[in-house]
Amino acid sequence: MKRIKRILVTGCLVIVLLIAEIIIIRNVSGYHSKVEVVFTKTAIPEGTVIEENMLEIKEVDMAIVPKNAVKHVKEVVGKETGTNMDEREMVVTGRLREAGESDEIKVVNEGNRLFSVEFKSDQVNGWQLSAGQYVDIIFIPNDNTNLQTDNIGSQTDNKEEDKDLNKGGEDPTNNLTNNIESLEYSNSCPGVQILKNIRIAAIIDEKGELLKGNDITGTPRIISFEVSERQDHFLAWAKSHGRLEVSLIQKEKQFKE
């Protein structure tokens, strides 16, 4: 009898140790739990109103699921595909739009136009931007060897000339910038010009498709700005005469559409 008890106790200990070993191995090897997400059953063309029979739920490794993945079929049914979707593709919110919603870039103020500029990540705050935000566009001219700042280089002897320049006087290197709305000269860096409070109309990826919200399915590449006629003339000139940087306005200063 004692022998049987000893065998049972030993067997229980072995099972406990095996379970503990499995848990440890999973943690060390980077084991990830599973999660259910929505996938397409078939290819769905752009502009198609999604029906329930076009979708299916699959259980996948949580490590490969992006934040904007759809986890419930009801969240998708009745919406349109914003782009072509392949068979067995994970459904993410950035590829969808409300039924009847246009995928065109919107202009808020009548009479404005769209102007696009290609940027690198370090010029646009690591692409922590989205359509509808308002930013400052900073222009640094190529011929900036004589630019002076408050803290770097010698100060000009002509204080009145500096004063006039900083108020928005004509830049000696550019005769195109008079009477442009929201265009200012930097107080600390004469020669540097700033377009203030410019609306981002859209962010476009390398395929020419619009990125929405926290969509991470594409790589941001181009910003489409909403600007006036004179502002787009300045930006066209600036693209070939220097570098453009985007300065993001603080959150509390953002305007709601």
- 100-110 tens-digit pLDDT: 555 667 788 88
pTM to 2 decimal places: 0.53
So what's the pLDDT on residue 21? 72
- Please give the structure tokens belonging to residue 51: 């029906």
Q: Check whether 5 has a pLDDT greater than 50.
A: yes
Answer whether CATH 3.40.50.300 is correct for domain 34-97: no
Q: Cα(233)–Cα(229) distance, rounded to whole angstroms?
A: 6
Ranges for all domains in the chain classified under CATH 3.90.1210.10:
34-97
Q: Check whether 248 has a pLDDT greater than 70.
A: yes
| Mean pLDDT value of segment 62-81 | 88
